[in-house]
Structure 1
């Protein structure tokens, strides 16, 4: 048996524009808060077919397997839509002024599986009629396919095994889509770790990060698949031992906040932008002493710790 070991590590840090908020790119999947967990531990002989699919507003995981023979398999699948777009915050744009921005919806997906399968032809007698004396024969080579997609980041990773007579393998997938807020940047993370021992089969491992078309209208949700930023296409036919680790991380920066024009409402002179400090040496302009001096002359005393409206005592007399 031909054996081959491969180690592959890819880590990309990219600074992307903020696609959070109303940008739910997973087709027809919206931000509905939920938490999901699935565990399985299966051992036996016969025919097996399993299909699993979980979605959030921006993440998706598909897992499919089938085959006849003996199987010993355990997996754990969890997903959570942690938040939705209910909250908003304001930020200042140099070209459009103050704008309201929805907070990003946050979600995570995690999948881990251990699998040991050996192909053989299996027959099964159904019921008490014709098929009780004429067993149905299952003659299915082993197939296993896992696809992880992060739609907001326009990224995907894939592992596919087909036509195998024997397969022992581990796989783990982690995805995180966290949108930026007023105070913190967001992130997109997708990782896939694979360890396969394949007997007489085919294996495909792929990774793709598209080149987003910034020139198109964002609400059309178009991505540049023609010339991707990252493309990995690895294929093996025969009997192999394969180890691979793929990791992709994208930073999503939050919009910058505008400085308050009135220093008394923020942090004083030190918080004033440099281009507004031309008269910083003039007492009473940036240090708020003019206000404090004026309040000291009020009779009766004026409470400056809370907002007040003038009463008749302070009104200008005609």
Structure 2
């Protein structure tokens, strides 16, 4: 085989390998990505029952919606807790899969019974028992930074505590754009329902701040010390609907072409006198005079 024939054969082999590679690539990923979305869901369902010392802390922050729950004490403790939180996605049972969602939120449900009693614990084989004398404390706090609302229920120095509490933080935000205007629709909700019987100290508070002034539109501050039974149903809803008119394309005498970036303007060459109204001359008389009969 002469030199020219070898070159022709190598070229043919290279072309075949390239085409084969392209074909394989098409077979591996034949469907291009049309859309993507990110998000998450979180769920916790638990039951704890026992005697001794306990300390718990839960914090959930979902795009300007914050929920914090903490507790500690020594004695008898029985609690059921359920938390559900999601952002950007939700599960659709009809298609048995996740799909994109414009809303987000957190729900919290807890039922707890506590009775104080000193508890001892040995930390090592030869260590002396350590006595824990911690009265009960439970604190649930909601913060909605979208509406400027916070709610909290706290019990401390409790000898006995029996409570049922449910809380919700929710926010739905959508933006649509038409030919002449853009629309913002926003809905947010903050809810705290409480039923508690306790011997110790209790506190319930609500605060709603006006973002423009920094002053409170709603403020509630309640403190109890002794033996009490309390029920509270607190709810706050805020709805925002805002429409903004769009500027006309390249408006005369208000920027337009002159406000464009140089790199964006370059393909269109010069438009001096077209969009900046520099070619306009004030007439000395009306072009179409009024005719009086």
Q: Quick one: higher RCO (CA 8 Å, sep 6+), 1 or 2?
A: 1
User: Residue 205 of structure 2 aligns with which residue?
Assistant: 206
Q: Does residue 66 of the first structure (1) align with residue 69 of the second (2)?
A: no
- 1:87-138 deviation line (CA, Å, top 9, x unaligned): xxxxxxxxxxxxxxxxx96320110000000000010122312x2xx11111
Q: Is the 8 A contact 1:196 1:241 kept in 2?
A: yes
Q: Does residue 33 of the first structure (1) align with residue 39 of the second (2)?
A: yes
Q: Structure 2: state its 5+ residue gaps.
A: 1-36, 90-100, 177-182, 249-293
Q: Is the 8 A contact 1:180 1:252 kept in 2?
A: no
User: Residue 230 of structure 1 aligns with which residue?
Assistant: 218
Cα distance in 1 for partners of 2:87, 2:111 equals 26
3-state SS of the aligned residue for 2:134?
Answer: coil
User: Residue 156 of structure 2 aligns with which residue?
Assistant: 162
Root-mean-square deviation (Å): 2.4
1:79 CA displacement: 1.0
User: Residue 277 of structure 1 aligns with which residue?
Assistant: none
TM-score, with normalisation over the residues of structure 1? 0.58
User: Residue 221 of structure 1 aligns with which residue?
Assistant: none
User: Residue 185 of structure 2 aligns with which residue?
Assistant: 185
1:257 CA displacement: 6.3
Cα distance in 2 for partners of 1:256, 1:248 equals 27
**Larger strand fraction of residues:** 2
User: Residue 78 of structure 1 aligns with which residue?
Assistant: 84
Q: Structure 1: state its 5+ residue gaps.
A: 1-30, 84-103, 215-223, 261-318
Cα distance in 1 for partners of 2:102, 2:220 equals 29
User: Residue 285 of structure 2 aligns with which residue?
Assistant: none
- My pick for the range that moved more, 177-186 or 60-69, is 177-186
Cα distance in 2 for partners of 1:105, 1:255 equals 19
User: Residue 255 of structure 1 aligns with which residue?
Assistant: 243
Cα distance in 2 for partners of 1:60, 1:108 equals 9
User: Residue 166 of structure 2 aligns with which residue?
Assistant: 172
Q: Is the 8 A contact 2:41 2:85 kept in 1?
A: yes
1:181 CA displacement: 2.6
Change in CA separation of 1:173 and 1:244 when aligned onto 2, cut-off 3 Å: same
- My pick for the range that moved more, 63-72 or 182-191, is 182-191
Q: Does residue 113 of the first structure (1) align with residue 110 of the second (2)?
A: yes
Cα distance in 1 for partners of 2:197, 2:147 equals 31
User: Residue 310 of structure 1 aligns with which residue?
Assistant: none
Change in CA separation of 1:119 and 1:127 when aligned onto 2, cut-off 3 Å: same
Cα distance in 1 for partners of 2:210, 2:38 equals 28
1:202 CA displacement: 0.7
Q: Does residue 126 of the first structure (1) align with residue 132 of the second (2)?
A: no
- Aligned residues, how many? 196
3-state SS of the aligned residue for 2:216?
Answer: coil
Q: Is the 8 A contact 2:80 2:111 kept in 1?
A: yes
Q: Does residue 137 of the first structure (1) align with residue 131 of the second (2)?
A: yes
1:150 CA displacement: 0.6
- 1:51-91 deviation line (CA, Å, top 9, x unaligned): 000111110001010000001101011111126xxxxxxxx
Equivalent in 121, 140, 150 of residue 144 of structure 2: 150
Cα distance in 1 for partners of 2:38, 2:124 equals 43
TM-score, with normalisation over the residues of structure 2? 0.63
Cα distance in 2 for partners of 1:210, 1:228 equals 4
